[in-house]
Structures are given as C-alpha cells and as structure tokens.
C-alpha cells in the first residue's frame, strides 16, 4: 500500500476487528484493536493507534507500517 488512500481504506475496513496486528519497518509487532485513525488534522502525519489487550495504546505512523494482519478474517496486507 504505497499511498495514503489505500492505507486508510484497509484500516477502516478493520475498525470492527478486535484482533489486528501491525508489523512495522523496524520489526515490531503490535496486536490489538484499532483505537483511532488520524488523517486530517493539520500539521500531523497520518497514523493509526492500536490498543492492546492490556489497554496500552501504541501510535504507528503510516510510513512505518510494513504489514497489516486481521487475525479475525485471516487477511494479510503488505504495505
């Protein structure tokens, strides 16, 4: 997913899932539920926030995402 709109479409489709995993460029795996998509705020970079099973929220910039996995449906998307 090389562009912003493709990334938004994929992530919005996973908003209802409570078992999404994001793999980042540096190899981190963040798994949980999409808490927030930030895309239109001025002076900010597009990002997604994932809330894990312990309630911790991790913000991931779109540019850092390498893969998105929806474990509920089994869909895997490469960035």
For 3, 51, 55, the CA distances from 33, given in Å and listed in that order, are 22, 5, 10
Residue 22's pLDDT is what?
A: 96
CA gap 55, 4 in Å, rounded: 27
Taking the chain (79 residues) in consecutive chunks of 10 residues, what is each chunk's mean pLDDT?
A: 81 91 97 83 83 94 94 91
User: What pLDDT is attached to residue 2?
Assistant: 58
What domains sit in the chain, N to C, each tagged with a CATH number? 4-74 (2.30.30.100)
**Can you give the pLDDT at residue 71?**
95
pTM of the model: 0.85
């Amino acid at each position: 997913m090389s562009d912003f709109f493709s990334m938004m479409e994929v992530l919005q489709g996973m908003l209802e899932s409570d078992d999404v995993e994001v793999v980042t460029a540096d190899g981190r795996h963040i798994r949980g539920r999409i808490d927030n998509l930030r895309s239109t705020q001025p002076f900010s970079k597009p990002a997604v926030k994932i809330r894990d099973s312990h309630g911790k929220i991790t913000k991931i910039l779109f540019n850092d995402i390498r893969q998105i996995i929806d474990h509920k449906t089994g869909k895997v998307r490469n960035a």
